[in-house]
Amino acid sequence: MSDKKIRVLDLLDLDLKDRNALDLRCIAGRRGLSREITVSDINRPGLALSGFFDSFAYERVQLFGRGEFAYLQKLKEEGKFNTIEQLFSYSIPCMVFTHGLYPDETFLSEAERTDCPILQTDLESTEFSMRLLRIFFQLFAPKKTVHGVLVEVCGIGILLTGDSGVGKSETALELVERGHRLVADDIVELSCVNGNSIIGRGANKLISHHMEIRGLGIINVSQLYGIGAVREHKEVQLVVKLESWDQNKIYDRLGTDAHTQDLLGVKIPYIELPVKPGRNLPIILEAAAMNERLKSMGYHSAREFNQNVLKWIESGEAQSAYYGNEDYY
The residues that are catalytic are 147, 168, 186, 253
Three-state SS string over 170-230 comes to: HHHHHHHHCCCEEEEEEEEEEEEECCCEEEEEECCCCCCCEEEECCCEEEEHHHHHCHHHE
- C-alpha torsion sign, points 69, 85, 5, 1: negative
Q: Is 169 exposed, middle or buried (0-12, 13-18, 19+ CB in 10 A)?
A: buried
DSSP state of 162: E
Give dist(CA 321, CA 167) in Å, integer: 45
DSSP state of 203: S
Chain center to CA of 281: 27
- Amino acid type, 285: L
- Are 110 and 118 contacting, i.e. CB atoms less than 8 angstroms apart? no
- Are 162 and 241 contacting, i.e. CB atoms less than 8 angstroms apart? yes
Total residues found in the chain within this entry: 329
Nearest to 155 by CA among 290, 320, 6: 290
Give dist(CA 105, CA 88) in Å, integer: 14
Give dist(CA 128, CA 96) in Å, integer: 10
CA distances from 283 to 19, 21, 155, 172 (A): 37, 40, 15, 11
Q: What are the beta bridge partners of residue 305?
A: none
Query: In the Cβ-directed half-sphere of 151, how many Cα atoms lie within 13 Å?
Result: 31
SS3 assignment, position 219: strand
